[in-house]
Amino acid sequence: MAGLTFNTKKRAQPEFPAPDTSFEPYFDSGQSWATYTYCPGFNGDAAGTSIRLPQTSYTAALQYYDKNGTASTSGSWNGGVAITEIHSDADYWAGWYMDNTDQMLYIIATDIGTSPHSLCFAKINAAGTLTQIGKTAHNNASLNSHTSTSGYQGPLYRKGGDGSGDFAFRHSYTASGGAAAGVPQRGSIVTIAASNGALSYTDLMPSAYGSNYSFTKTSFGPTANNIIGGPYYGPNAGHYAWYGSIANTNNGKGYYAAYFAGSQQHKWAGGASTTYWIRWREGYIHMNYGQHYGPVYYKEADIHNYLDEMAVFYGIL
């Protein structure tokens, strides 16, 4: 039709933020083992400490090291924290959250011996004092098989930020909050009560949203503008950027696949396989199924600002 033109106000895709290396050096901050991720130790503890998390095993013990690589023998850290210390029935690691204010590592693990499966919730400090908070069965089997690398579950986060409120994670493969899998795939926010580990469910996406298939793991957010998303797949033949889902949980706009590398080829910290992230000391730690490349820690404020800018770029905010 005469008079119509393309929008000429094009903006560049935001660049992924730079890593934050202020916690470094700590033991194996260079990430020399392909099967583990080494994360900065507890706030307030000695400089250079690190916690070793398994990234290719769902059962390997957690370890706490000093800067010289000597494993802690304090409390439950002695010999490593076994998954059965989270709960005697726990089978698989499901997630971790390091609270910088509480100086506490919060842990979830899955018990596959119940139907539906159950979520076990616990916490541990630098001294090795481990507290089992609670165990609660999910309300339907579509939430089964939750592990630390599951493709539909986002990372454990704290709703009020460090030191405040209940915990939660996103599960995209449900029709609605706490429902079984299926169309319209609005997903669930699963809240874990900080006091006793009880579970409750709300819709992830609003009623305006509907899809044939669920989002991939949304590792980042929610931002202050309720944007969620993050890289998950790639690079591979035909494209050189990591890609994954991005969505606005206020207005229901979003995309199953969006590029997350900006105008450059993939240059921020990555790995040899699919990427996933955890929340750690007011930031995000990058993990993957293979060898790390580059730093692993990014400040939450930088990631959330980037995600909001990505939402503007894609026209959903």
Q: What's residue 33's pLDDT?
A: 86
The count of other CB atoms within 10 Å of the CB of residue 65 is: 20
pLDDT band with cut points at 50, 70 and 90 for residue 270: low
Query: What is the reported pLDDT for 4?
Result: 32
CA 187/CA 192 separation, integer angstroms: 16
- Nearest partner of 13 among 317, 312, 240, 316, judged by Cα: 312
Nearest CA to 215 out of 190, 188, 234, 240 is that of 188
Is residue 224 one of the residues assigned to a domain?
yes
The total domain count for the chain is 1
What is the b/e burial string over 276-312, where b = at least 16 CB atoms within 10 angstroms of the residue's CB? bbbbbbbbbbbbbeeebbebbbbbbebbbebbbbbbe
Q: Tell me the pLDDT tens digit for each residue of 235-262.
A: 554 556 678 899 999 999 999 988 886 6
Domain-located, residue 13: no
Q: Does the pLDDT value for residue 1 go beyond 50?
A: no
What pLDDT is recorded for position 8?
42
Question: Residue 122 pLDDT more than 90?
Answer: yes
Average pLDDT over residues 61-77: 98
Q: Which residues contact 54 (CB under 8 A, 6 or more apart)?
A: 35, 36, 60, 62, 93, 148
Kindly list the strands in the beta sheet with 118-124, ordered across the sheet, starting from the edge strand earlier in the chain: 130-137, 118-124, 104-111, 92-99, 275-280, 283-288, 297-299
Let me know if residue 31 belongs to a domain: no
pLDDT of residue 262: 61
Query: What integer best gives the mean pLDDT of the chain?
Result: 89
Short-list 149, 152, 145, CA closest to 171: 152
pLDDT for 265 equals 57
**Does residue 200 carry a pLDDT above 80?**
yes
Please report whether residue 12 resides in a domain. no
Edge-to-edge, what's the strand order for the sheet holding 227-229? 227-229, 243-248, 254-259
Instruction: With cut-offs at 50, 70 and 90, classify the pLDDT of residue 86.
Output: very high
């916490």: which residue's tokens?
123
Task: Please check whether residue 65 is in contact with residue 45, taking contact to mean a CB–CB distance below 8 angstroms.
Answer: no
Residue 296 belongs to some domain of the structure: yes
Full residue range of the structural domain in which residue 145 is found: 36-313
Residue 200 β-bridge partners: 191
Predicted local confidence at residue 211, as pLDDT: 92
Q: Is residue 74 part of a domain?
A: yes
**pTM of the predicted model, to two decimals?**
0.93
Q: Say what the pLDDT of residue 240 is.
A: 60
Least-confidence region, from 83-97, 258-272, 276-290: 258-272
Is residue 4 included in any domain, yes or no?
Answer: no
Tens of pLDDT, residue by residue over 161-181, are 999 999 999 999 898 988 888
d(CA 198, CA 137): 9
Q: What is the domain-level CATH number for residue 280?
A: 2.115.10
Is residue 11 situated within a structural domain? no
Higher pLDDT, 275 or 29: 29
